[in-house]
Chain A
Amino acid sequence: MGKMSVELDVFVGNTTIMDEEVYQFWLDGYTVADAVRVRMEGGVLQECEASAEVLHSDTMDQFRTFQMCERLLHCPSKLANQLLFQIPPHRQAMLIERYYAFDDAFVREVLGKKLSKGTKKDLDDVSAKTGITLKSCRRQFDNFKRVFKVVEELKGSLVENIQQHFLLSDKLARDYAAIVFFANNRFETGKRKLQYLSFQDFAFCAVQLINNWTVGAVDNMVEDMDVDLDKEFLQDLKDLKVLITDKDMLDQHKSLVCTALRGKTKVFNEMEANFKNLSRGLVNIAAKLMNAKDVRDFFIDLVEKFIEPCRSDRWTAGDIKLFLTHYTNSVHILDTFKHQVVWDRYMGVVKSCILKMYHD
């Protein structure tokens, strides 16, 4: 072999040949050599009587193909319209889906952060921390940014917009909606106290928020954006303060909840003792949400003001659910309270979020 070297080596199929495994290596930012090594360990060779050279050639070739496709993947609708590569539709879908897929570990690092150049610069830290290659980090970050940019200003359903422009699966589109939503509202997710939460926890919460607290949530006809919270609603949340400022109302609320829960939970005493604190916490969060800064702290506030106290009192998830159900519903009985709609809209989301977030 020493006497010759391959100067050029290409393979082009009329139907573009792509191996999903190799694609994944490429997406994961492997070098060709690494990919070849991993593939060899995977045993493709015995399977097909090939040599390392053959594997190298194939890997190079595919990496090149992916690289050429990358431009198109940035605008997936182009992939269906372009003439350069003939790729069957289901393969196109696979290419797109995988390209836009991301690592949970990575997304946790950037979730809620501004998708700016500054953040991008810090990706090498993220890479070091998560063990994900820098190349892959960059791709994922750029994907977030690209999706964000496209849908940021679009009206209508966030998920649908993403799906339409990026041809992603429902699941992935919803995840991206969460990412965009978090990035847009800059929710703080990186604090130590929030570390125990997974991306999926946040994504769940994001869906709740998008479905209930944005303008599009209440009125489908309103051509507004899903990315921004309903300002009016946030404004109205101030009215909930009466639940903690009006002493009668607070007491009445507490007694209603206690009556309902008595004998049904092991942490009844702790609950009774903490009721006012917990209620104040939840209502205060609501009342502050009109400030953008406090919106960012929404999740940390939930943890600090509600989840942690309950956890230290060893509430079970069942206890939480029971409590929040009665806590929410009891308000309906308070005659003097006039903001039932706002309350339900608020508590519906908060309850779901807390239930999702209440774990180890």
Chain B
Amino acid sequence: MPGKLKAKIVAGRHLPVMDRASDLTDAFVEVKFGNTTFKTDVYPKSLNPQWNSEWFKFEVDDEDLQDEPLQITVLDHDTYSANDAIGKVYIDIDPLLSSEAATVISGWFPIYDTIHGIRGEINVLVKVDLFNDLNRFRQSSCGVKFFCTTSIPRCYRAAMVHGFVEELVVNEDPEYQWIDRIRTPRASNEARQRLISLMSGELQRKIGLKVLEMGGNAVVGYLQCFDLEGESGLVVRAIGTACTLEKLSNSSAAAPPACNSPSKDIKESPLAHPPGHGCRSTHSSPVHTASGSRLSQNFSVSVPTLIFTGMRLHRHRSLGETGPEHRPQTVLPGRQCRPPFSEDPNPNTHSSGPSTPLKTQTYSFSPSKSYSRQSSSSDTDLSLTPKTASPPAGPRIFLCPSSPALSTEPPPNHSNSFQLSPGPGTAQRFTPLPLPLSGHQYPPGLRKSVSFSEDLLLAASGMGSGGSAGKEGGPLKTLLRQQTQSALEQRGASSSRIFVRTREFPFFTLTSFPPGFLIHVGGVVSARSVKLLDRIHNPALGNTRSYKLLDWNSFAADEPETRDAWWEEIRQEIKSHARALGCHAVVGYSESTSICEEVCILSASGTAAVLHPKFMQEGCLDGYSDPSRLSRQPATFSAGSEKGEFDIFPQSKDSSAALGLEEPSPPSCGFCHIPYDELNIPFPAHLTYCYHCRRQKVPDVLFTTIDMPAEAAVTGKGCLIQARLCRLKKKAQGEVNATAISNLLPFMEYELHTQLMNKLKLRGMNALFGLRIQISVGENMLVGLASATAVYLTALPTPGGIQIAGKTPSDITYEQHISNMQKKINDTIAKNKELYEVNPPEVIEEVIGSPIPEPRQRSRLFRSHSESSDEVSELDLSHGKKDAFVLEIDDTDAVEDIHSLLTDTPAPAGFYSCNTEIMPGIYNWTSGLQMFTSVRVFRLSNANLTNQGLNKIFNDLCENLLKSLYFKLRSMIPCCLCHLNFTVAVPEDELIQVAVTAVAMTFDKDQAQENWKLGADKTHMKAIVENEEQLQFPLELCTESPSTNPFSPCRGTGLQESANAHATPRAASVDYSSFADRWSSWIELIRLKAQTIRRGSIKTTSSLEKASPLPEGRSRSLRSTRSYAGSTVAVVKMTPLSFIPGTRIIKYLGIINMFFIRETTSLREEGGVSGFLHAFIAEVFAMVRAHVAALGGNAVVSYSMKECVFMENPNKNQAQCLINVSGDAVIFMRESELEATPAPPQTSCSGGEVTT
């Protein structure tokens, strides 16, 4: 019995009137954990009851503590009839289980009811006493810390990065259980909320276990999502990056940036750089992509995976028919990657090739699953080669028999395969064991016993509570436990396997890294796959639930495996794409789904990268554990057998250089240097020598999913770029639908990419960060939205303009039209350059005798290869206009595209926007902060919409939404909308939903212009004052705190040297020399300010005495002349970023992961859909804030709204909405407050900040 949970119910306030007669309420409280329930006394006739209960004690397993929430129900006592529930509070105990997080939960929580919303508040105290538990069959993972933050958390140092962890659990969705027909909506919603809460807890616990097994103590970049698969169930899945974090003991210890030492190491160690070069290989094949298209360069569209490739032949044909102009650049995964591979002596590399066709069949369920399993097994074998004995040709060998016809099967036949019923024989499981059998089919009977404990576990536990088909899940849960136990025992023996398994994917969910961690970036890799949700999977289910109940075990065993397999395939694909780019790791990795009816699109994307192994646990990186080892055993690779997976790296001809003979690249440009081998790029890329260091090659554009490295040299400011696209699709069912979707996907990816590229050029920039491409499926359309932050990387070549080429030069009016457009485009580019201060230094061309090769033809036709135009041919001669980027207007689509290109209006003056954490080029953030969520749903009239019409609508929709945001936040100017995260969905036939969460942050304009000097003190002082007037929370002292600028300190210290050495004059936008002075003057300012304020203040609020420092408390008392003595509400800041400018996070209190359902049957009365959702989102914010405050925190960082599923039925006056949010609860302190302590200012340059 490893834990004692104690809860005390103190009081309630603002309760609703439950007794009409007296206008009062007789409230009491039920406190429930697991199956134990306590009750308070009834506090009669009060809307503000004071229960002041005893401590209710629950003696529980720590496992339960992790899985279960504490459930508090407030009821109205009724002598004669049933007691009425007022509402509930679920409290996640998890933060109390880690010694470093919160110690007590104490505060006011909103009492929430899924029908009525928030109904008053309740004051609760919760504590946990944990006993030491040395049980080696531990099922709990107490103490593993979870962070949503996708960088190393601010007050920690990463001692080790272990790598990718993933898990998923599956259950029946209570909404679709038979019992739902007889229970109230409230009961149903609560069952769902509770179930998801349980599943999240379980998922977290299991991930925690994996982390412990890997030797880690934390998960960073924890990303949990759930898929509402309707009839077929509910999947909760999560990915993250396992790390060993060390707490920086105190503020002075925080002084050396967490990652300083490693970065130092980089400089010192001769090994530091080699990996980068080591990665170059003789064969780096971009996995798919358009031959000849720039696409390939750093945008691995792995379009079509499964079904798509299945249809590939078919699609091919249709493509050919579409017209010649499409063929050359069409993205063809799998295909193009072969030639390069074939050069490779190691046949294993074929995996990426063959795996694609194999996926063909995965379309459907068990039968295909078995194939896909094998396909992935072949891939797995690759990565596991050291342990597998499978012959290189293995994959093909055993694949062929199992799917003889499939890989080449034409569509008609193909569809047959969908119907294969899930016979036990085919539904065989794959084990990633290094058994010689991999790929071998087990006898059906063996299945369960052999099956891999973990999956079974998942299945078992997942289905356990669902299988009970009730709310309690008591007996089944017990059963589940037993099951788990036995599974665990098995697992004990197989832990090494797990270890291997978890290292299978060298993925990192982090988006920003300690300096030196990221060596090279290859480009974006992504994969999508269309799946049919498995109604077919359990045919009996439709009729009788008893089937499931009776045979839930086997059923359960199947289901999660399917989902696991799906993801595994995708990940394999990502992995092979990364390899093709010469990278051994994928960073900024994320996964998502879009579900419509029974079709599900799985997507994964990340950035192929080469990382410094120093930071990582050996074996964490794919085939790249230790450079020294590599150097010692070069022979291994040529042999190619045992360590086959290393093939792409060390064999590269310049591996000797890689091993340290060359000096390391400067951090401000090193990551741009290509990781792949320039001589063997199977696509014509345009490489030049780095414009920054001149020593290594860089591509002409770089796309990534990560945040821009803090040390990167940029010119000017960045901006948000979005590509938007709608495609109509015929309504269809089942596989026809899936086929249609998969046929559309590659075109969408391609179009989106084209748009991105065009818009990038239009802004005169050359790199994208934070790229996120979302494709959502609806019944009759697909919607694609790609967002990224464009910047001008100083290291990359200056992008050329956009050249429009007409198709038929004969028509004179047409020519005129073209030249008009050309002029417009040129003007726009010029305007944009000015707007974003993109004035690249013009030094490049003059370099004489530089090793830069003759500027090669950089232009590439995006639209077409038909070279009828003079201009095109001229350009192709690769002379003169080195940079022109040609857009050929060969059809109306192109005209549309160009038109839409020009309709994107820039943000109004004073506004910037980006979807990364912060805007490149802005360094002086002030403390104005406004996090917001905006949701819009548009109804398309059912007029005959064309793709173009639809596109226009969707484009306008996004543009208008942005305009609205700018307008709303105009009082914060100058400000930047950061981390703008758009999510699109197609909830119904004619509805498009767009949800945005972002934070608006103010910055100091003067300093932004880089001409801020000490002499300007006075004006600056004035600026502060003026600024305060505009701020929401005036008088927050550190508005201007020096460390608001997370960059400067770093630059000023650790990186200064290199930055000075290499930065081109423009790029080094911070005036380093004046930095120290500026700093001290800041401090003076703040001191001054603080003093005046303290003198003027009437009193400080009591909240300051609490554990959590609440700087706002002071400001509150300052401004208001009247006392708000009664106020107990602490201000809680929320931000999607991992930090708050001008502050230091001094403690992480635990992860916030909350799921809510709200439903109404009186939609009109609640103000219609907008009123309903507005209230709900406000309630969700309120509940998040309350939980954070109760943990003693004053902010949520890395906040995100994972899910916002809105359904309405206006005719019935009903609506329902599900929202899932997450973030990290923290305590932050103003730098100015910290500054009072002896720590020197420079200490504020903590490691975490460097990583921004």
Binding site for B on A (CB under 8 A): 1-17, 47-51, 53-55, 57-58, 60-61, 64-65, 67-68, 77-78, 80-86, 88-93, 163, 167, 169
Residues of B1178-1196 at the interface with A, using a CB-CB cut-off of 8 Å, are 1178-1179, 1181-1183, 1185-1186
Q: Chain A residues near B1034: list those with CB within 8 A.
A: 88, 90
What CA separation (Å) do A1 and B949 show in the bound complex? 11
**Inside 8 A of B13's CB, which chain A residues have their CB?**
81
| Alpha-carbon separation in the docked complex, A306 to B1120 (Å) | 45
Which residues of B sit under 8 angstroms from A2, Cβ to Cβ? 941
Interface of B is mostly: mixed
Which of A49, A85, A88, A89 contacts B1178, CB < 8 Å? A85
* A59–B645 CA distance with the chains assembled, in angstroms: 60
Q: Nearest residue in A to B121 (C-beta to C-beta)?
A: A83
Stretch at the interface among B222-230, B766-774, B956-964, B1010-1018: B956-964
Let me know if B931 and A10 touch, CB within 8 A.
no
Q: Which of A3, A92, A93 contacts B949 (CB 8 A)?
A: A3
User: A83 and B1124 in contact (CB under 8 A), knowing A12-B932, A13-B930, A58-B964?
Assistant: no
Given A15-B930, A80-B1124, A90-B1119; A7-B937 close (CB under 8 Å): yes
* Interface pair B1134/A14, CB less than 8 Å apart: yes
Q: Please indicate the chain B residues that have their CB under 8 angstroms from the CB of A169 in the complex.
A: 1122
Are A12 and B1177 also in contact (CB < 8 A) when A5-B939, A7-B937, A90-B1034 are? yes
* CB pair A15 B1032 closer than 8 Å: yes
Which residues of chain B are near A61, meaning CB under 8 Å?
A: 968, 1174
B933 contacts A by Cβ under 8 Å: yes
Which of B931-975 touch A at CB < 8 Å?
A: 931-941, 943, 945, 949, 953, 956-957, 960, 963-970
State A16–B1182 Cα separation when bound (angstroms): 11
User: Which residues does chain A contribute within 8 Å of B449, judged by CB atoms?
Assistant: none
Look across to chain A and name the residue whose beta carbon is closest to the beta carbon of B1206: A8
Interface centre among B110, B956, B967 (most CB of A within 10 A): B967
Chain B hits for A53, CB < 8 A: 960
| Residue of A48, A85, A88 touching B967 (CB-CB under 8 A) | A48
In whole angstroms, how far apart are the Cα atoms of A290 and B129 in the complex? Answer: 71
Q: Contacts A13-B931, A89-B1119 given: A65-B940 contact, CB under 8 Å? A: no
B1132 contacts chain A at the CB level, 8 A cutoff:
yes
Q: How far is the CA of A85 from the CA of B970 in the complex (A)?
A: 20
Tell whether, in the assembled complex, residue B14 and residue A82 are in contact, meaning their CB atoms are under 8 Å apart. Answer: yes
B965 CB contacts on chain A under 8 angstroms: 11
Known contacts: A86-B1132, A86-B1185. The answer to whether A78 contacts B941 by CB under 8 A is no
Closest to A2 in B: B941
CB distance from A23 to the nearest CB of B (A): 14
CB of B1131 within 8 A of chain A?
Answer: yes
* CA of A1 to CA of B940, assembled, Å: 10
Measured between alpha carbons, how far is A67 from B943 in the docked complex, in Å? 36
- Report yes or no: A68 in contact with B936, Cβ–Cβ below 8 A: no
Contact between chains at A83 and B1120 (CB < 8 Å): no
- Ordered nearest first, which 4 A-B pairs have the shortest CB separation? A80-B1127, A8-B937, A13-B932, A14-B931
Closest chain B residue to A55 by CB distance?
Answer: B967
Residue among B108, B934, B938 making CB contact with A83, cutoff 8 Å: B108
Assuming the contacts A8-B1169, A12-B1174, asked whether A84 and B1179 have C-beta atoms less than 8 A apart, the reply is yes
Interface: B476 (CB within 8 A): no
Contact yes or no, A3 B941, CB < 8 A: yes
Given contacts A10-B935, A49-B908, contact A4 B966 (CB under 8 A): no
Residue of B nearest to A90 (CB): B1119
Find residues 465-507 in chain B having any chain A CB closer than 8 Å to their own CB.
none
Given A54-B963, A57-B964, A64-B1170: A83 in contact with B1182 (beta carbons within 8 A)? yes
Determine how close the nearest CB of chain A comes to the CB of B831; give it in whole angstroms.
Answer: 14
A5 touches B938 (CB 8 A): yes
Residue of A with least CB distance to B1119: A90
CB pair A90–B1120 under 8 Å, yes or no, is yes
Does the CB pair A3–B945 fall under 8 Å?
yes
Cβ-closest chain B residue relative to A168: B1122
Interface members, chain B 101-123 (any A CB < 8 Å): 108, 110, 118, 121
Q: Chain A contact residues: over half helix, strand or loop, or mixed?
A: mixed
Verify if B1133 is at the interface (C-beta below 8 Å from A): yes
Q: List 29 A-B contacts (CB under 8 A).
A: A4-B939, A4-B940, A4-B957, A7-B1169, A8-B1169, A10-B934, A11-B968, A12-B933, A12-B934, A12-B1177, A13-B968, A14-B930, A14-B931, A14-B1181, A15-B1032, A17-B930, A17-B969, A68-B1171, A80-B1124, A80-B1126, A81-B13, A81-B1128, A83-B118, A83-B1183, A88-B1033, A89-B1120, A89-B1127, A167-B1124, A169-B1122
Interface centre among B110, B1033, B1128 (most CB of A within 10 A): B1033
B residues contacting the other copy or chain, number (CB 8 A): 70
Question: Which positions in B face A, CB cutoff 8 Å?
Answer: 13-14, 108, 110, 118, 121, 905, 908, 929-941, 943, 945, 949, 953, 956-957, 960, 963-970, 991, 993, 1032-1034, 1116, 1119-1120, 1122, 1124, 1126-1129, 1131-1134, 1167, 1169-1171, 1173-1175, 1177-1179, 1181-1183, 1185-1186, 1206
B1174: which of A57, A64, A88, A167 is its contact (CB, 8 Å)?
Answer: A64
Separation of A253 and B391 alpha carbons in the complex (Å): 129
- In the complex, what's the smallest C-beta–C-beta distance from B978 to chain A, in angstroms? 14
Contact of B938 among A4, A81, A167 (CB under 8 A): A4
Q: How far is the CA of A14 from the CA of B1185 in the complex (A)?
A: 9
A92 to B1033, CA, bound (A): 12
Q: Specify which chain B residues have a CB less than 8 angstroms from the CB of A14 in the assembled complex.
A: 930-932, 1132-1134, 1181, 1185
Q: State in angstroms the CA–CA spacing of A78 and B1206 once bound together.
A: 30
CB of A50 within 8 A of CB of B963, answer yes
A80 surroundings in chain B (CB, below 8 A): 1124, 1126-1127, 1129
Contacting pair B936 A8 (CB below 8 A)? yes
Complex: how many Å from CA A68 to CA B1179?
11
User: Which chain A residue shows the least CB distance to B1034?
Assistant: A90
The answer to whether A78 and B14 have CB atoms under 8 Å apart is: yes
Bound form: Cα–Cα A330–B943 in Å = 91
Residue of B at shortest CB range from A53? Answer: B960
Chain B CB within 10 Å, residue with most, of A11, A93, A167: A11
- Chain B: minimal CB distance from A76 (Å): 10
The complex places the Cα of A89 from the Cα of B1179 at a distance, in Å, of 20
B108 CB contacts on chain A under 8 angstroms: 83
In the complex, which of the residues B933, B936, B1120 contacts A6, with contact meaning CB atoms closer than 8 Å?
B936
Q: B1126 touching A77 by the CB < 8 A rule?
A: yes
> For B908, what are the chain A residues with a Cβ–Cβ distance below 8 Å?
48-49
Q: Is there contact, CB below 8 Å, between A12 and B1119?
A: no
User: How far does the Cβ of A354 sit from chain B's closest Cβ, in whole Å?
Assistant: 34
Cα distance, A307 to B1039, chains bound together (Å): 59
Whether the pair B932, A83 counts as a contact (CB closer than 8 A) is no
Q: In the complex, what residues of A have CB within 8 A of residue B1174's CB?
A: 10, 12, 61, 64-65, 68
Contact B1171 A64 (CB under 8 A): yes
- Chain B's closest residue to A167 (CB) is B1122
